[in-house]
Amino acid sequence: MAVKFALIKKCSATAARSGLLETGHNVIETPAFMPVGTQGTVKGLTVDELEQLGAGLILGNCYHLFLRPGVEIIARHGGLHSFMNWKGSILTDSGGFQVFSLGGLRKVEDEGVEFTSYIDGSRHYLTPERAVRLQNMLGSDIAMVLDQCSPYPAEYEQVSKAVERTTRWAERSKHAHLREEQALFAIVQGGVFKDLRRASAASLVEIGFGGYAIGGLSVGEPKDLMYETLSWTVDELPPDQVRYLMGVGSPDALLEGVRWGIDIFDCVLPTRIARNGRVMTDKGYLQIRNSVYATDLSPLDENCDCPVCRNYSRAYIRHLLNAKEILGLRLTTYHNLYYLNRLMREIRKALSENRFDRYYREEGPKLKYLYGGAD
């Protein structure tokens, strides 16, 4: 079956809402954060650990899996779920953002995108139809259309052309999508221009998709501008379908996104910073590699009940990281993902108890102070 989405609670003072996202594999309580498993793995963690920390939906990337090991190999294993032994749900990104980030290694045309592999320099061509077919073969629960993401800053005319191309590609993607049990989500673009955002959303809703993502944010614009742009966009999307904010994962931005009615999020932030020794705590970011923690026997976060904080000290984890022991990266990664999943549980609880507005007013300023700067 394709995904089903049911609204459970709505906040009377904001656009925040909770719901249940049902796929053929499980039911995910929303709002939810989705760990990024770009190449068929969330770096450093086993699927059992992901399930243990509360992840029900993870992201895989069609672009990376196409280049390595090859979608055909994954399909022969029965699809991405079987290949990586994951029993939960999977959303696959089409590769649009990766193409955007390639810079001089790609050429965008109306037909599709020609790009150079970052692995071996080989040339490839990705069309909206091919991106969908590859995701059909991967067997993810949710597939994404191929889109064109504009940089920040960008001129109005440049963004307008990207919106028009994104709409045409979305329509072609829908026609190419053949897997009935897999949902296809569209991606709203438009940079930070109000009329372009609204036009993009309206045109995609008219075509009709199983859910809607908001892309092209968190690409360098100030957070306040990102939130303002989000506020313009969400109202144009169907209230009874999933809303997905792409590439956002700092605690303050997650709370703000929920306030504007977002249901699911993804970002490499928690796992990427973990590999550099940076962890999230109730007192903000902590750089555990610093020498001040060399003899610190306290946990990463005294208010955290994750297995890492229950069993290991800052001094020990610092030692592992500085000694380049793999366990250190695994522990910081687990903690960061647990921290964000705990935050989302608290948000869902506040929604269920009809106190989200108070929670937002109390926690929002704290999170903005602790995490509101550059990630």
Backbone angles phi, psi at 318, to 5 degrees: -60, -45
Place of tokens 């500085």: 322
Quote the tokens at residue 131. 């991106």
Quote the tokens at residue 155. 């001129």
Q: Terminus-to-terminus CA distance in the chain, angstroms? A: 38
The amino acid that residue 135 corresponds to is Q
What single-letter DSSP state applies at residue 151?
P
Residue 102, number of CB atoms within 10 A of its CB: 18
Q: What is d(CA 307, CA 334) in angstroms, rounded to the nearest whole number?
A: 9
Q: What is d(CA 237, CA 286) in angstroms, rounded to the nearest whole number?
A: 37
Backbone angles phi, psi at 29, to 5 degrees: -75, 130
**263 catalytic residue (yes or no):** no
Q: Would you call the peptide bond into 365 cis, given omega within 30 degrees of 0 as the criterion? A: no
Contact 92, 80 (CB under 8 A): yes
Query: Is residue 73 classed as helix, strand or coil in its secondary structure?
Result: helix
Given the residues 141, 252, 263, 266, select the one marked as catalytic: 266
Report how far Cα 362 is from the mean position of its chain's Cα atoms: 25
Helices (H) and strands (E) in the chain, counts: 15, 16
Sorted by sequence, the CB contacts under 8 Å of residue 103 that are 6+ apart come out as: none
Q: What is d(CA 356, CA 341) in angstroms, rounded to the nearest whole number?
A: 17
Nearest to 144 by CA among 99, 195, 102: 99
Q: What is d(CA 116, CA 357) in angstroms, rounded to the nearest whole number?
A: 48
DSSP 107-133: EE-SS-EEEE-TTT--EEEE-HHHHHH
Crossing angle of the two packed helices 326-352 and 314-322, in degrees rounded to 10 = 130
Query: Which residues are identified as catalytic?
Result: 93, 266
